[in-house]
Amino acid sequence: MDLRSDEERWAVWMVQAHRFAKRENFTDAMARTKLVRDAVQEALAGATDAKQRARLERRLARADEQFASMKSRHEAWRSAIATRRQNTIDQAAEEMARPLPAPVD
C-alpha cells in the first residue's frame, strides 16, 4: 500500500488502533493512537494555512477522544482481570480443602 500523504497514513493508523482495541490489544491500540496524536501535533505546529490548521485540529481532537476512550476501556479491562484474579486467590483455600475425586476403576 502506497500512502502518499500524512493524512492517509494517519487514517490507516487510526483504523489499525481501532482494530487492536477491538481485539483487546489495548497496549498497541493506545501506542498507535498516540503516534497519530504526536504526528498531528507536529504537523499542526508547522501549519500556516487556516483551513489546514482547522482540519488538523479536528483530527487531533478525534485522536484525543479515541485515546481517552481506549484508555478507559483498557482500565476497565484490567480491573476485570484483577477482580477475577483476586477471586481465584480468595477461593484457593476452599479449593485446596476439598478432597480429591475418587479414581475411576
- For residue range 27-59, list pLDDT tens digits in order: 999 999 999 999 999 999 988 888 989 999 999
Cβ partners under 8 Å of residue 46, min gap 6: none
Percent of the chain with pLDDT over 90: 66
Region of residue 24 (left: phi > 0; alpha: psi -120 to 50; beta: else)? left
Residue 104 lies in a domain: no
The yes-or-no verdict on residue 72 having pLDDT over 90 is yes
At 36 the pLDDT is 94
User: What is the domain range of residue 58?
Assistant: 6-86
Cell of 17: 488502533
pTM: 0.73
Q: Based on the structure, what is the number of domains in the chain?
A: 1
Work out the mean pLDDT of the chain and round it to a whole number: 89
Q: Which of 60, 70, 2 has the alpha carbon at shortest distance from 31?
A: 70
The yes-or-no verdict on residue 68 having pLDDT over 60 is yes
Residue 99 lies in a domain: no
